[in-house]
Amino acid sequence: MSMLFTIEQFDEYEIEDVVCYLLSDVHKKYINYWTDKRRIKSVLSSHNIPKDRYWKFRYDEKTKEYVTCKNTYTRSHAFIEKQWCEDNIMKPEYHILHNKYVTTDKCNSSSQKIDNNKIDGEKNHIIMLFNNNVKGVKICLEGRNTKHCGKEGHWLEMKMGIKHNKNNEPDINGYEMKKSSNKITLGDFSASEYAFSGKNKRNVINIMNTWTDDTKISRNEFIRIFGNSNPKKKNRYSWSGICVPTYNIWNTNGQILTINENNDIIIYYSFSNDKRSIKTKFPSFLQNDNIVIAVWMSYKMKLHINNKFNKKGFFMCKKICDVYEKICFGRAFNYEYFISCIKDKKIIFDSGMYEGNNRNYSHFRGSCFWNELIIEEY
């Protein structure tokens, strides 16, 4: 099996100076090294490395040494010792991400040992499905509800052999599938409790607000009090858009999204931070500060995130013009990483709750968040 080393030059095998991308076992798969930062972006996107920048070696199973492959430009100083590779690159506590080393604590990957050959087979199956059924294929939405925002996603699921479901597990072979867009949804995760939750279903909020079940607010009242009307929708009220809170910032509707020491996600309402004149008409129990109106308990959210994204990671189908041409794989992440990205504002709460529909549409979405996790592209 050939080994491809992309090396500009480094002294004494300084590991900090080597930018590398590890695909699999040193004896069986490819390892790419490069230090020319001007070329990193193009290498990641196209793997089009100029010939004067790389040297190729083959690992000889008989001699247990690296030998030069034919018809490949080589230099003596480019020789990499097998032992150095094993000592520095194959350490299990390292995962390689673009141009830096990331430990498993930072990477939040599963510590469970996984069979590399099995992963490769399952990943290759996904790549095969994409190449055979999706790549370069015109997207046909005939017979589908053209007003449904998820219509293209359903088409993609069908082409990839994924049955549309609401199961809390990865879509296929341990990977969650995503399609590229400006904002990509991690999931529609209804809160553990809302202020409008019914009797015996609002225990945490009752305790935090010193309410009882006799303190009542209906779902429509919730939307009208904490949301805004939309003139383009015949003044229909929704808890969406600018009235939805972001992390650690009070908005004009007097709401803020916070995370406590247990990593519970909590949305507070503050009467004094509400800039709307309509607030004077609110019920007296809402004319106070620091009122909890929604809470996602960490034990519930941890199951959602870890079950979906902390198995083998995800893959994303990317378009060129109007057809899908690329498939990318991203590393796994856990709930703690999810929380850190909310704090860094890489993930947002993007509610779409509105009058006349019983779905809560409590979406969490990310944009640059996804690209930072991508480690392979085909």
Mind listing the pLDDT tens digit of every residue in the chain (378 residues)? 233 333 333 333 333 233 333 222 333 333 333 334 343 444 334 444 333 333 344 445 566 554 444 333 333 323 333 343 444 443 333 333 222 222 233 334 333 334 444 557 899 999 999 999 999 999 987 765 545 456 888 899 999 999 877 788 999 999 999 999 889 999 999 999 999 999 999 999 999 999 999 999 999 999 999 999 999 999 999 999 999 999 999 999 999 999 999 999 999 999 999 999 999 999 999 999 999 999 999 999 999 999 999 999 999 999 998 899 999 999 999 999 999 999 999 999 999 999 999 999 999 999 889 999 999 999
* Helix, strand, coil abundance in the chain, percent, nearest 5: 30, 30, 40
Assess contact for 138 and 331: CB atoms under 8 A: no
Other beta carbons within 10 angstroms of residue 251's beta carbon come to: 16
Q: Cα–Cα distances in Å, from 99 out to 32, 40, 50?
A: 11, 8, 19
Assess contact for 26 and 20: CB atoms under 8 A: no
pLDDT number for residue 121? 84
Assess contact for 330 and 314: CB atoms under 8 A: yes
pLDDT number for residue 346? 96
Residues recorded for the chain: 378
DSSP string for residues in 120-148: HHHHHHHHHHHHHHTTTPPP--TTS-TT-
Q: Cα–Cα distances in Å, from 367 out to 178, 180, 356?
A: 12, 9, 29
How does 183-194 read in b/e, with b if 16+ C-beta sit within 10 Å? ebebbebebbbb
The pTM assigned to this predicted structure is 0.69
**Domain parsing of the chain, residue ranges:** 2-107, 116-189+301-377, 193-296
Burial of 340 (0-12, 13-18, 19+ CB in 10 A): middle
Task: State whether the Cα torsion 272-274-276-281 is positive or negative.
Answer: negative
pLDDT number for residue 164? 75
Q: Could you tell me which of 370, 373, 375 has the C-alpha nearest to residue 178?
A: 370
| Element at 178 (helix H, strand E) | strand 176-179
Q: Could you tell me which of 257, 259, 253, 258 has the C-alpha nearest to residue 271?
A: 253
Q: How many CA atoms lie within 13 A of 5 on its CB side?
A: 27
